Structure 1
Amino acid sequence: MADAVSRLGLGTSPLGNLYTEVTEHEARAVVDAAWEAGVRIFDTAPHYGLGLAERRLGAALKDRPRDEFVLSTKVGRLLVPDPDGAGPDPEGFAVPATLRREWDFSADGVRRSLESSLDRLGLDRVDVVYLHDPDDHWDQAVGEAMPALAELREQGVIGAIGAGMNQWQMLARFVRESDVDFVLLAGRYTLLEQPALAEFLPLCAERGVDVLAAGLFNSGLLARQDVPDDATYDYRTAPADVVGRARRIAAVCARHGTTLPAAALWFPFGHPAVTGVVIGARTQAEVRANVEALSVPLPPKLWAELRDEGLLDAGVPVP
């Protein structure tokens, strides 16, 4: 298997002040720490902090050699001025709501969104553009947005195209019915749950579509060795039985000299369709912990015990 660290991407929703504020200095330090650790894949979106994450990421990368990193952003939500936006952002980012998001998967919307992203990033190009959460917009996304992205790819404006979602079913439709290069799958292929395994990942492997796995901590549940009672799962308070399952996995990890977050980071690499993982970080320490976790392969006996304990099905591939 290729070096896992080289396939680690930095997700930037925390740099858009997801839930809590990150200072300009802290945001820059996160990107710098990722770069120094060898991370060369960076993922962002207009949605993250109403453009704040894009601006911060672009500023941190602008003096880096452009051919040495892969940058992805997303389209589907246009940011437009909101003169009445005086309160906090309703989407959970700790930023003033001076802008609002408008769903737009039209061809014109795609081009406008990408142009605005490039302006915020301060860079001359992005390498990958994803349709962002088109769950309720299938017809326009597949009929207008995807052809527009394909045209931009053919023109050399962008390098590759794809879709990023928290579900696998519609991503499978994109793989079957459009010409995507990548899919970004959040939360549906993790150490805790693998609903994408039976149908979706084999489809991607068959079609030659690269899968980047995101949401590996299931929005926080798997992010700590000591799973708290109020841990979040799918952006809500985790049910007691799910917390219990995570704690059982953590206990197995401890018996094999590792941690729940490390196992969660390693797990997706067991499937050949998964070519990379994307994980967010809000501190330098989190970046370094993720890199360190992926620097040392986990013992095969760990995965065997998880199977023996009924915490991992026998047919699930492991690293």
Structure 2
Amino acid sequence: MALTLSRLGFGAAPIAGLYTAVDPDTAAATVDAAWEAGVRYFDTAPHYGLGVSERRLGAALAGRDRDAYVVSTKAGRLLVPGDGGGDDDEGRFAVPATHRRVWDLSRDGIRRSLDDSLARLGLDRVDVLYLHDPEDRLDQALATALPALAELRDEGAVRAVGAGSKDAAALARLVRGGGLDVVMVAGRYTLLEQPALDELFPACAAAGTDVVAAGVYNSGLLAAPEPDPASTYEYAAAPPDVLARARDLATVCAEHGAVLPQAALQFPLRHPLVRSAVVGMRSPAEVRQNAAWLGAPVAPELWAALEGRGLIPADEAGAAAAP
């Protein structure tokens, strides 16, 4: 993929009110803080806040050199007007339910989704277009959505195409289907767990497909130096065995002068296939903290210790840093 992605990517779901409301000024200040921290890769989707994320991100980036940053958005679900009642409980965003999501993986649906996203972003192009969460619709994704993405890339409407999901096996099938420049794997290649190594990464290596790691904190469990019973995993309470593993990781980190989220953010970037780690951030303080964790070197002995205790795969301890 002939695009330069900053190692820290900005996930724009939280500025659209994921779980709790974020006011427009804070959203804009968060994007500004990311820019000041050197972030130049910004990821959004129509799904995030029923278009609110795209509108807020586009407004915050307006006026900046368009060639200086990379924007990705997603396709697969169209936004159609709803009755406007209540909040977006389906998507867990604290925004009015002005629209509803309708799956459409047809050629026309993919093209319409991109056109709608460009209008909300206020941009004349996005750099990467991902197919969003296609794991339950793989046959249609392979038959119609992937060819539609490739057509848009061939026309120059987007520079790269990919797919994003937390289902590593589904992503591997799409990569083997051909034509993807990049995949965004959420929560399946983290310090806590690495199922993406089974099928997805070998498929990407064979196809020349790059990887963006998202969900590197496993929906919150690895986001604090000391995981506790209130920590979430897969957007719910962490099971006891998962919490215990996270605590073991935190203990080893502390023994080597690091904190758990620092190691969790840096771990996926050690793999040569991974181009960027995308982190959802909702405030300037969160941006600055993530930038600090990424910028603080981790002792090489930490990775060796994690390997020795069976907490990361043996071949990961010697992984080369991504370029």
Equivalent position of 2:258 in the other structure: 258
In structure 1, the partner of 2:86 is 87
How far is the alpha carbon of 1:312 from its aligned partner? 1.9
Could you tell me whether the CA contact under 8 Å between 1:5 and 1:291 is conserved in 2?
no
Amino acid at match of 2:191: L
Identity %: 59
Matches within 5 A, 1:71-86: 71-83=71-83, 85-86=84-85
Query: Distance in 1 between the 2:94 and 2:125 partners?
Result: 28
- Give, in whole Å, the separation in 1 of the partners of 2:133 and 2:5: 27
Which residue does 1:249 correspond to in 2?
A: 249
- The equivalent residue for 1:164 is 164
The answer to whether structure 1 residue 34 and structure 2 residue 34 are counterparts is yes
1:288 aligns with 2:297: no
Which residue identity does 1:133 align to in structure 2?
D
Amino acid at match of 1:87: G
Question: Does 2:69 align with 1:69?
Answer: yes
1:196 CA drift (Å): 1.1
CA distance in structure 1 between the partners assigned to 2:313 and 2:183 by the alignment = 24
Q: Deviations over 1:103-153 (max 9, x none)?
A: 111111111111110010011110000000011211221111111111111
Task: Report how far residue 6 of structure 1 moved.
Answer: 3.1
Kept in 1, the 8 Å contact 2:169–2:199? The answer is: no
Tell me how many residue pairs correspond in the alignment: 315
Aligned partners of 1:212 and 1:278 also within 8 Å: yes
The answer to whether the aligner puts 1:313 opposite 2:305 as a matched pair is no
- Matching of residue 213 in structure 1 with residue 216 in structure 2: no
Q: How far did 1:296 drift?
A: 2.7
Q: Are 2:5 and 2:275, in contact at CA under 8 Å, matched by a contact in 1? A: no
Matched with 1:144 is: 144
**2:226 — aligned with what?**
226
Q: Which residue of 1 aligns with 2:270?
A: 270
CA 1:118/1:110 → structure 2, altered by over 3 Å: closer, same or farther? Answer: same
- Which position in structure 2 is the counterpart of 1:45? 45
* TM-score, normalised by the number of residues in structure 1: 0.96
Secondary structure class of the residue paired with 1:286: helix
Distance 2:247 2:215 in 1: 18
Amino acid at match of 2:67: D
Question: In 1, distance between residues paired with 2:250 and 2:132?
Answer: 32
Q: What is the RMSD computed on CA atoms of the aligned residues?
A: 1.4
Q: Name structure 2 gaps, 5 residues minimum.
A: none
1:173 counterpart residue number: 173
SS at match of 2:87: coil
CA contact (8 A) 2:281 2:287 kept: yes
Q: Give the structure 1 partner of residue 128 of structure 2.
A: 128
Q: Which amino acid in the other structure matches residue 64 of structure 1?
A: R
Superposition deviation, residue 297 in structure 1: 2.4
Q: Bigger CA drift: 5-14 or 125-134?
A: 5-14
Tell me the CA shift for residue 5 of structure 1: 9.2
Q: CA–CA distance in 2 between the matches of 1:242 and 1:79?
A: 36
TM-score, normalising length from structure 2? Answer: 0.95
The answer to whether residue 182 in structure 2 is matched with residue 182 in structure 1 is yes
CA–CA separation in structure 2 for the residues paired with 1:232 and 1:50: 24
Shift of 1:306: 1.4
